[in-house]
């Protein structure tokens, strides 16, 4: 019935102050930003073009281009990936050759695989590209640099001479990403003024002299680092949307269990449903908090860079790359699990879950393929370990590696299931697992004469060690979050339950790591799972309130299953009738194609 809250009985069970939890979830971001970060999907994504200009352009170039971009007088595309190269930025083929006679660069796509391919906004709407191309001066290749290139006339939007542009076509399913005109671009000897090479980091003089960057060349990758830390925030939003839908529906859906006319059992009360759903609820909060930390770490990096302090740049790269990888994988897999948690109705478009999944899953690929990103983390971990011998004391997220010797001797002293509720007990186990996995890789790597060959041979193990390292970061930041002053009745307690669920779920899922590195005994692993089951019972009465705390409107969720009022069945039925297929009783084509078959006489008893 309209106006009735079918989930009121669930909301009345809450054991914490929901208003405070809403504030904890929102953190420093407001609802507008949450919505804005999705609205851009259906518009051109200035998310990268503008930050890239800020990161790579001189002050003078920023003064020229930023006002135009900010006011949408030009529409830019971050044009890096090509048909033949995406992950391997140093393998990009597009060239920008300096012509000293005319003081210009000539941009060219020398091969088919040099075709720019994927950049958002490029297909139909962008007027300018921030094109990444190999800088060539006097036949010498100086590597990939950024160039601002006008693509279309600002009068009639037609493509300019030498520019061939197209959309790369439909993408995965009918997802909303098809509203993004990811495009292709071929340069045929297109000339741009020298001052349209972004020259904050390195320059080319009028005489054609290359002035190399006096800062780490990787700063030219700065926009990717910026977006990767934003994508971690996106992961918490995408996953929490799916969890909100599937939690509310799990409380509405009843199946089996009726005795003597009693109501059937709410599927949220099945232990299997809880074991699948509640770790995702905990993961949404965990990713939200690590994204908060990562954002502050990134802001600190920017301040340091302003002061030419590059000391945290390697760690910032490793953290943004690794956390982008881990959180987008968890969110993408989690959205699919939420669809399955909703049974058949989860497969309906009106559930909001297929669309969410179709739009979200490329996050595991864009801004750095997730495996390639974890290999970057692994490279950082191996380098950190190699420097231990020279007395280099790791700090920050790798500080635990400075205690590697001690952690190699670690054995969990858990005796009872409730011992696993102690944050220090959990962190020690996760540190020992991560340290031992990385140390084992380093040990094996040392057996190879050529480190690169070893890295390739051991890359699967290195990815697992990098995963363990990133999961330790997320667990640690969840624990640190709860060391903050959090007001409100029961709020910290509930977050403590989620923190333990998150950590013990990971321990259970990766029990092989913990056992094979001899960090815990099988019995201690069993006790962790015991404790996990008990935690699910503790979170159960608060589940609806915990997803209410995400503070998503029904409009934002766009899901009949995730409605705040839980009035699912009438709305499911109502939504189905909106489908144009239901505008007529007899379907198009029936009379032409089906009816003749039905009318066909029987021959010898056979149709």
Ligand X SMILES: Cc1cc2nc3c(=O)[nH]c(=O)nc-3n(C[C@H](O)[C@H](O)[C@H](O)COP(=O)(O)OP(=O)(O)OC[C@H]3O[C@@H](n4cnc5c(N)ncnc54)[C@H](O)[C@@H]3O)c2cc1C
- Catalytic residue positions? 367
Q: Which of 107, 197, 287, 359 binds ligand LB6ISTLD (CB under 6 A)?
A: 359
Q: 322 labelled as ligand-binding? A: no
Q: Work out what residue 37 binds among ligand LB6ISTLD, ligand X, none; the CB cut-off runs from 5 to 8 Å by kind.
A: ligand LB6ISTLD
Host H or E run for residue 132: strand 128-137
Q: How far apart are CA 160 and CA 107, in angstroms?
A: 13
Q: Closer to ligand X at the Cβ: 76 or 279? A: 76
- Within 10 A of 131 (CB to CB), how many other CB atoms are there? 27
Please state the closest distance from residue 418 (CB atom) to ligand LB6ISTLD, in A: 37
Q: Work out what residue 89 binds among ligand LB6ISTLD, ligand X, none; the CB cut-off runs from 5 to 8 Å by kind.
A: ligand LB6ISTLD
Please state the closest distance from residue 497 (CB atom) to ligand LB6ISTLD, in A: 26
Q: Which of 93, 367, 428, 513 binds ligand LB6ISTLD (CB under 6 A)?
A: 367
Instruction: Considering only residues 89 through 128, tell me which ones interact with ligand LB6ISTLD, judged by CB under 6 A.
Output: 89-90, 120
Q: Does 356 bind ligand LB6ISTLD (CB under 6 A)?
A: yes
> How far is C-alpha 326 from the chain's CA centre?
8
φ/ψ (deg, to 5) at 96: -130, 100
The answer to whether residues 285 and 331 touch, using CB atoms and an 8 Å cutoff, is no
Q: Which of 16, 25, 98, 177 binds ligand X (CB under 6 A)?
A: 177
By CB atoms closer than 10 A (0-12, 13-18, 19+), residue 408 is middle
Relative to beta strand 76-79, strand 128-137 is parallel
Q: Which of 16, 117, 221, 536 binds ligand LB6ISTLD (CB under 6 A)?
A: 221
Q: Closer to ligand X at the Cβ: 371 or 440? A: 371
The answer to whether residues 6 and 540 touch, using CB atoms and an 8 Å cutoff, is no
Using the contact rule CB under 6 A, the part of the chain among 251-259, 277-285, 359-367, 411-419 near ligand LB6ISTLD is 359-367
Closest residue by Cα to residue 135 from 197, 81, 184, 80: 197
Q: How far apart are CA 406 and CA 110, in angstroms?
A: 55
Q: Which of 218, 295, 349, 529 binds ligand LB6ISTLD (CB under 6 A)?
A: 218
Q: Which of 16, 25, 98, 118 binds ligand X (CB under 6 A)?
A: 118
Q: Which of 383, 403, 508, 540 binds ligand LB6ISTLD (CB under 6 A)?
A: 383
Contact string 446-485 vs ligand X (x = CB under 6 A)? -------------x--------------------------
Instruction: Considering only residues 370 through 429, tell me which ones interact with ligand X, judged by CB under 6 A.
Output: 371-372, 375
Q: How far apart are CA 154 and CA 364, in angstroms?
A: 35
Q: Does 329 bind ligand X (CB under 6 A)?
A: no
Q: Closer to ligand X at the Cβ: 191 or 379? A: 379
Using the contact rule CB under 6 A, the part of the chain among 39-47, 56-64, 396-404, 565-573 near ligand LB6ISTLD is 39-47
Q: Which of 314, 343, 488, 490 binds ligand LB6ISTLD (CB under 6 A)?
A: 314
By CB atoms closer than 10 A (0-12, 13-18, 19+), residue 66 is middle
Angle among Cα 591, 596, 601 to the nearest 5 degrees reads 150
Q: Which of 44, 56, 80, 500 binds ligand LB6ISTLD (CB under 6 A)?
A: 80
Closest residue by Cα to residue 164 from 172, 152, 154: 152
Host H or E run for residue 136: strand 128-137
Closest residue by Cα to residue 110 from 168, 190, 167, 183: 190
Q: Does 315 bind ligand LB6ISTLD (CB under 6 A)?
A: no
**Helix or strand or coil: residue 83?**
coil
Host H or E run for residue 192: strand 190-193
- Can you give the length of the chain in residues? 607
Q: Does 238 bind ligand LB6ISTLD (CB under 6 A)?
A: yes
Sign of CA dihedral 11, 15, 17, 22: negative
Q: Which of 56, 61, 62, 81 binds ligand X (CB under 6 A)?
A: 81
Q: Closer to ligand LB6ISTLD at the Cβ: 90 or 606? A: 90
Q: Does 368 bind ligand LB6ISTLD (CB under 6 A)?
A: yes
Q: Closer to ligand X at the Cβ: 144 or 549? A: 144
What does each C-alpha distance from 316 to 73, 175, 202, 204, 222 come to in angstroms?
A: 33, 32, 22, 29, 10
Q: Work out what residue 356 binds among ligand X, ligand LB6ISTLD, none; the CB cut-off runs from 5 to 8 Å by kind.
A: ligand LB6ISTLD
**Helix or strand or coil: residue 312?**
coil
Q: Work out what residue 133 binds among ligand X, ligand LB6ISTLD, none; the CB cut-off runs from 5 to 8 Å by kind.
A: none
| Structural tokens at position 13 | 């069970």
What are the residues facing 136 on neighbouring strands?
97, 141
What's 419-462 look like in SS3?
Answer: HHHCHHHHHHHHHHHHHHHHHHHHHHHCCCCCHHHHHHHCHHHH
Contact string 160-179 vs ligand LB6ISTLD (x = CB under 6 A)? ----------------x---
The answer to whether residues 76 and 129 touch, using CB atoms and an 8 Å cutoff, is yes
**Helix or strand or coil: residue 109?**
coil
Give me the half-sphere count of Cα atoms (radius 13 Å) on the Cβ side of residue 519: 24
Q: 120 labelled as ligand-binding? A: yes
Q: Closer to ligand X at the Cβ: 123 or 525? A: 123
Interacting residue ranges for ligand LB6ISTLD, rule: CB under 6 A: 37-38, 41, 45, 47-48, 78, 80-81, 86-90, 120, 176, 218, 221, 224-225, 227, 231, 234, 237-238, 313-314, 317, 355-356, 359-360, 366-368, 372, 376, 379-380, 383
Interacting residue ranges for ligand X, rule: CB under 6 A: 78-81, 86-87, 118-120, 177, 182, 362, 365-366, 368-369, 371-372, 375, 459
Q: Residues marked as binding for FAD?
A: 81, 120
């Amino acid at each position: 019935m309209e106006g009735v809250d079918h989930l009121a009985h669930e909301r009345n069970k809450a054991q914490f102050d929901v208003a405070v939890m809403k504030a904890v979830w929102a953190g420093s971001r407001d609802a507008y930003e949450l919505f804005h970060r999705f609205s851009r999907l259906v518009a051109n994504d200035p998310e990268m073009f503008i930050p890239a200009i800020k990161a790579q352009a001189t002050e003078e170039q920023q003064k020229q281009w930023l006002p135009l971009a900010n006011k949408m007088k030009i529409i830019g595309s971050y044009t890096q990936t090509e048909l033949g190269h995406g992950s391997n930025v140093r393998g990009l083929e597009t060239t920008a050759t300096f012509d000293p006679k005319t003081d210009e660069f000539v941009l060219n796509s020398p091969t088919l695989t040099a075709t720019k391919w994927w950049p958002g906004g490029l297909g139909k709407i962008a007027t300018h590209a921030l094109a990444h191309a190999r800088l060539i001066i006097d036949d010498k290749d100086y590597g990939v640099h950024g160039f601002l290139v006008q693509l279309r006339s600002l009068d009639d939007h037609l493509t300019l001479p030498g520019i061939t542009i197209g959309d790369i076509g439909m993408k995965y399913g009918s997802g909303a990403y098809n509203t993004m005109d990811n495009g292709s671009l071929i340069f045929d000897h297109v000339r741009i003024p020298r001052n349209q090479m972004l020259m904050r980091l390195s320059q080319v003089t009028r005489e054609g002299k290359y002035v190399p960057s006096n800062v780490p060349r990787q700063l030219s990758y700065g926009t990717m680092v910026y977006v990767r830390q934003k994508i971690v925030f996106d992961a918490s939003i995408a996953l929490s949307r799916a969890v909100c839908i599937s939690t509310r529906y799990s409380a509405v859906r009843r199946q089996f269990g009726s005795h003597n006319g009693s109501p059937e059992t709410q599927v949220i009360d099945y232990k299997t449903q809880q074991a699948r759903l509640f770790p995702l609820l905990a993961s949404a909060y965990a990713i939200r908090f690590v994204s908060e930390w990562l954002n502050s770490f990134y802001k600190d990096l920017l301040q340091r860079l302003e002061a030419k302090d590059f000391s945290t740049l390697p760690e910032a790269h490793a953290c943004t790359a690794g956390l982008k990888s881990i959180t987008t994988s968890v969110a993408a897999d989690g959205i699919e699990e939420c669809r399955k948690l909703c049974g058949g109705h989860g497969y309906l478009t009106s559930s909001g879950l297929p669309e969410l999944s179709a739009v979200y899953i490329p996050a595991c690929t864009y801004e750095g393929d997730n495996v390639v990103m974890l290999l970057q983390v692994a490279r950082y971990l191996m380098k950190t370990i190699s420097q231990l011998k020279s007395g280099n004391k790791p700090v920050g997220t790798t500080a635990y590696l400075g205690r590697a010797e001690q952690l190699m001797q670690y054995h969990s002293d858990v005796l009872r299931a409730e011992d696993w509720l102690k944050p220090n007990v959990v962190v020690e186990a996760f540190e020992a697992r991560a340290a031992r996995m990385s140390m084992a890789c380093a040990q094996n790597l040392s057996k190879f004469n050529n480190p690169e060959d070893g890295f390739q041979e051991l890359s699967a193990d290195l990815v697992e060690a990098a995963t363990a390292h990133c999961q330790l970061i997320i667990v640690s930041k969840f624990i640190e979050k709860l060391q903050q002053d959090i007001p409100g009745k029961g709020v910290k307690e509930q977050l403590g339950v989620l923190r333990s669920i998150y950590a013990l779920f990971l321990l259970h899922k990766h029990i092989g790591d913990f056992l094979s590195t001899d960090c815990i005994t099988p019995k201690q692993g069993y006790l962790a799972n015991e404790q996990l089951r008990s935690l699910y019972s503790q979170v159960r009465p608060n589940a609806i309130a915990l997803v209410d705390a995400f503070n998503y409107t029904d409009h934002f969720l766009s899901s009949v299953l995730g409605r705040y009022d839980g009035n699912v069945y009438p709305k499911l039925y109502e939504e189905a009738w909106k489908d144009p297929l239901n505008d007529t009783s007899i379907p198009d084509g029936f009379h032409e194609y089906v009816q003749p078959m039905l009318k066909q006489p029987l021959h010898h008893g056979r149709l």
